A and B are shown apart, each in its own frame.
Chain A
Amino acid sequence: MNNKEKLNNPKSDYWKSVFAITWKDLSSELRSRELLSSMLVFSLLVIVIYYFTLELDIKTRSAITAGALWVTFSFSGTLGLNRSMAIEKDRGCLDGLLLAPVDRSVIYFGKALSNLAFMLIVEIIVIPAYAMMYNINLFIPGFLFVTLLGSIGYIAVGTLLSAMSIQTRTRDVLLPILLFPLLIPVLIAAVKASNGFLLSLTWTEIMPWLNILFVYDVIFISVSFMVFDSIVEE
C-alpha cells in the first residue's frame, strides 16, 4: 500500500498500530518471560492451596470448579495487569507511546489485546492442569467459550483501571481494590454459565448468564474506548 492509499484508508492504519503495540508486548514478554511465569506459578500455587483449604473431595469438586478457577484467574490477572502497565510506566515507554501520532485509544486496544493474550495463555495452561489434578472434564466448548467471554470483560475493565492505578501513589495495591467491585457481574455470570455447562443444564438456564457477559463486554469495551483519553492525558 503506498502512502496516498494509506491516507485514504485510515482504518487499516488504526489496527496496524494496535497490533504493533500488542506485538511489542508479546515479543518483549517472549524474551523476558517475567510476567507469564509469575502469573502461571501463582495460579498453580493457588490451585494446590485449594486442595488443602477447601478439601476438594470428589463431591464438592463439581460444584466448586468454576468458582475456584475464576478466583484463580482474577487474582493472577491482577498480577499480569499490574506488571504489564508498570513496565510501560517505569521505563518511560508510556510517554513514548503517547508521543506517537496515533489515536490514544490505539494504546488501550493494543494493551488490552496483549493482556488478553497473556490471560488466555495462562488459562490454556491452568485449565488442563486443573482438569488433570482434580480429575474433572473441562474440555467442553461451552465452558471454554464462557471463559473467553469472561476474560474479555475482565481485561476490558482491568486494562483501563491498571492504566489509572499505576499513576497513583499506592500503585499496584490499588488495582484489585478498584477492579473487583466492578467485576462482580462478570464473576457471577461467568461462574454461573460455566457451572451450567459443567453440570450440562439446559440452554434456557445458561442463556441469561451469557447475555449478561455479552452486555458487560460490549458496554465496558465501548466506555473504556471513550474514556481512555482522559486517563493518559498529560
Chain B
Amino acid sequence: MAPQPKLLKFLNVLSVLLVAVGYYLSIFYAPTEKVMGNVQKVFYFHVATAWVGMLGFILAAAFAVFYLKSKDMKWDSYGLAAVEISLVFFFITIILGSIWARPAWGTWWTWEPRLTTAAILELIYLAYLLLRQGIEDPEQRARFGAVYTLLGGLSVPLTLVSIRLFRTIHPVVVGGGGSEKMGMTDTMVFVMLYSIVAFSVVFVNLYWHRIRLGQYTEKIEQLKLRINQ
C-alpha cells in the first residue's frame, strides 16, 4: 500500500483545522440572529454541506458523460466517489435543515421544493448504489451506473422546477431578492462564505481518500481474480 502523498496529509490536517475554526466562528463570532436566535447558527454548516452535496452531484453527472464517451474506468470510480460523498453531505444537510426548521417553521419536515428535491436525490443515489450492487461485471456496472447517474442528473432539475410551481417557504439565500431574502449582516455573510470554503476543502480531502480507496478495491478485485484462475 502506497503511503499517502504529502499534500493529502496536509489536507487531512487542514480540513480538521478549517472545520474547527468554522465551528468556532459560527458559534461565537457570528452575531445571533434577532428573530430565530441561536438555532440560526446551524445555517452556516447547512449551506456549506448543501454546497458540497451539490458539487458532488454535478461532478457525478459530468463524470458519467465522460465515462460514456471514453469508457475509461477511472471516470467510473471518480463518479462513484462523488455520489457517495454527495449522498452523505446531502443527508447532513437535510438533518441540519430539520433542526433549523423545527423552531423556524414549527415542523421537522415540510414538502418544500429544495427539501423534497434533496430527499428525492438521496433516493436516486440509493437506487444507484443498489443498481451497482446487483452487477458483478465491473465494466457493465460502470456503464449502467453512468447511464443512471446521467438520467438522475437530468430529472433532478425538472423535479425541482415542478415542485417549485407549488408555493415555497424556504428562504432564498443566493440570487433571491424580494421579501423572502434573509437579512444577513456582513459578519454572517463572511462566516457563511468561510464555511463554504472550509467544507470545499473537506470535500477535496474526502474525495481524494475515496478515490484511493477505489483504486485499492480495484486492485483487490484483480488479485482475487488471479487467485481464482
Interface residues of A (CB under 8 A from B): 157, 160-161, 164-165, 167-171, 174, 177-178, 181-185, 188-189, 192, 208-209, 212, 215-216, 219-220, 223, 227, 230-231, 233
Contacts and interface: CB of A to CB of B under 8 A. Distances in A.
Given A220-B154, A233-B143, A168 B162 contact: no
A168 B163 CA distance: 32
Nearest to B135: A168
A185 B134 contact: no
Nearest to B152: A182
Given A185-B159, A188-B163, 18 more contacts: A157-B151, A165-B131, A167-B140, A168-B134, A174-B127, A178-B148, A181-B120, A181-B124, A181-B152, A182-B151, A184-B120, A192-B165, A209-B162, A216-B158, A220-B155, A223-B150, A227-B150, A233-B143
Contacts of B120: 181, 184
Contact of A167 (B68, B123, B133, B135): B135
Contacts of B135: 167-169
Contact of B158 (A167, A170, A174, A212): A212
A181 B148 CA distance: 11
Contacts of A185: 155, 158-159, 161-162
19 contacts: A160-B147, A164-B131, A167-B135, A168-B134, A168-B135, A168-B144, A170-B130, A170-B134, A171-B134, A174-B131, A181-B120, A181-B152, A184-B162, A212-B162, A216-B158, A219-B158, A230-B147, A231-B144, A231-B147
B186 interface: no
Given A157-B151, A220-B154, A223-B154, A169 B136 contact: yes
Contacts of B134: 168-171, 174
Contacts of B161: 185, 212
A227 B147 contact: yes
Contact of B155 (A168, A182, A230): A182
Nearest to A187: B162
A192 B163 CA distance: 11
A234 to B, nearest CB: 10
Contacts, number: 88
A219 B147 CA distance: 14
B151 A223 contact: yes
Nearest to A176: B127
Nearest to A184: B159
Given A184-B120, A188-B163, A223-B151, A178 B127 contact: yes
A177 B127 CA distance: 6
Interface in B116-141: 120, 123-124, 126-127, 130-131, 133-136, 140
Nearest to A234: B140
Contacts of A188: 159, 162-163
A107 to B, nearest CB: 15
A168 B147 CA distance: 14
Contacts of A231: 143-144, 147
A81 to B, nearest CB: 15
B165 A208 contact: yes
Given A168-B135, A181-B127, A215 B158 contact: yes
B211 to A, nearest CB: 23
Nearest to B139: A233
B68 A227 contact: yes
A194 to B, nearest CB: 14
A11 to B, nearest CB: 26
A155 to B, nearest CB: 14
